[in-house]
Amino acid sequence: MFRTAARHRALVLALAVLGTTSLAACTAGSGQDGSRPGSTAAADPAARPDLRRFYGQRLDWRPCGDFRCATLTVPRDYDRPGDGETFALPVAKAATAVPGKRLGSLVLNPGGPGEPGVRLLKDGVADDIGKGVRERFDIVSFDPRGVGGSKPALTCLTDDRAEDEAREAHEVPLYPRTDAERADALADARATAAACRKASGPLLPHVGTDDAARDMDVLRAALGERRLTYVGWSYGTSLGTSYAEQFPRRVRAMVLDGAVDPSLDWRQRVLNQSTGFRDAVEEYADSCADVVGEACPGTTPGEIRALVDRLLDRTRREPLPVDGSEEGLDAAGLVSALSLSMYTPEAQWEGLSEALRAADGEDGTKLAALAAGDEETPDTDADTDADIDGDTTTDPDSDTGPAASEEPASDGPEDNSDAALMAVDCLDVPHPRDARAYWDALAPADRAAGVYGTSGVTSELVCADWPAGTRRPHRVHAPGVPPVLVVGTAGDPATPYDEAVSLARQFPGGMLLSFEAPGHTGYGRDACVDEKVEEYLVSLTKVRPGTTCAP
């Protein structure tokens, strides 16, 4: 995985980290040019008179630090694109190193949902991509609708700070068993949903993955590309899958790394992912010495497991002290720190080991930093931020530019990844309205994955009181799409390997590239994976069945 601190944020409660399922609607038949069959759009959305002004825009690039930046304007509601409501989406690109060899644009999505793509470029992803790809493509990314520098952007913060503080008042255990504990968990979830509706209500029905994929087709057109070349990590595989289903004949090449299987329902997804995190922590205990040597917090796997269990028992009784915090680190924070440290073992396990040693000495400060995703210092280049987040084009049918969305300019986007994760998860994935369905899921989740499973279930409670979408779990339907490359990492905690196997089989001509290693995603972490992916991106070289890379 590319080295971006943004991928390691603690988002919603203990386990809602980069693993939400974004599903595309199940359809039959095929649009004439590959647009989503059965949608309200014509066969070619660009030909619709009410969408022509969006498809006809061209990006007005300007310098912004080491990049070129622009703004893409898209309709807020694709069913009513003429109502004047829009999203203005920041776009950034690193131009090809050898313009004479340029094949086109390579669009990237870093995952989430809720991670801004512009930040991905700022964090140096273009420099990590192989020379052969950088010579042939402009590397492009964007902030999806409602995310990061999008205007308007999602938020769950209200003007009533007392309300926000009250929403955080309950200390819900990892496994709420009593009626009182479950009432508190449900009250917290409902208060969170109510705050999000109050702060972002008009946006919530319009931030789903299908709409974001349609935005990506507008971006393709604005970039002047006939077909899309795309790499998506984690949730970005859901975005890519939705695009492939809606526009299969507009795909040139597509890499889906850290796959989300759209055929799973909310409960299957929670069980699959939470089991992945549990297994990853077990693998940490088994392989710590091989990865970080003497820094391990125990001399044997058994000692490390005993330490983790001891800390779980300790934090259930009382939070660990944390410098500068009155609340300290509770059991949910410990589970978050453990889970988030499973994404890139080679970069994170040493820091986790040091934090566990400190916690065993009654200091939870380092673990709290890991739980908050603070293991790296973000780039704070104010000039680049202002350029990338600023408006750089005009609305395609207005003299007022992207401000048609009537959102005031700000000094820079807040980190709204947790709000975006909830919004997309709850809109894309059908969730039960009755809380009993969640309580019924707790015991199976506990048997399957312990605290990782039960905390995963309770994190989904917020969706019980959220505006619902219309999509359902389904198998991919993308007739006419060219061969799609799915990358699956054997020890992936957030998007388990079996989902990559399943997704590759669901695509006609789908290809699976296996990476035998722990951690989340493969492209950007291993030379063998990078070589196979980049040969496919540049030359459309197919990956043979059974191809496997190992570190």
Which residues form the catalytic set? 234, 492, 520
Cβ within 8 Å of residue 61, ≥6 positions away? 68, 69, 70, 93, 392
Distance CA 98, CA 105 (A): 13
Residue-wise DSSP of 220-265: HHHTT-SSEEEEEETHHHHHHHHHHHH-GGGEEEEEEES---TT--
Distance CA 276, CA 179 (A): 29
State the Cα angle at 521 between 68 and 137, rounded to 5°: 30
Give the three-class secondary structure for 399.
coil
Residue 383: enclosing H or E segment and its boundaries?
helix 382-389
What end-to-end distance do the CA atoms of the chain give, in Å?
13
Distance CA 472, CA 23 (A): 7
* Cis preceding-peptide flag for 467 (omega within 30 of 0): no
Looking only at the bridges linking them, the beta strands covering 320-322 and 251-257 are unpaired
Residues composing the chain: 551
- Of the candidates 138, 191, 197, the one whose C-alpha atom is nearest the C-alpha of residue 164 is 191
**HEC letters along 35-99:** CCCCCCCCCCHHHCCCCHHHHCCCCCCEEECCEEEEEEEEECCCCCCCCCCEEEEEEEEECCCCH
Distances in whole angstroms, Cα of residue 211 to Cα of each of 22, 78, 319: 12, 8, 42
322 φ, ψ (degrees, to nearest 5): -135, 130
**HEC letters along 480-509:** CCCCCEEEEEEECCCCCHHHHHHHHHHCCC
Distance CA 71, CA 464 (A): 35
88 φ, ψ (degrees, to nearest 5): -110, 115
Distance CA 528, CA 549 (A): 6
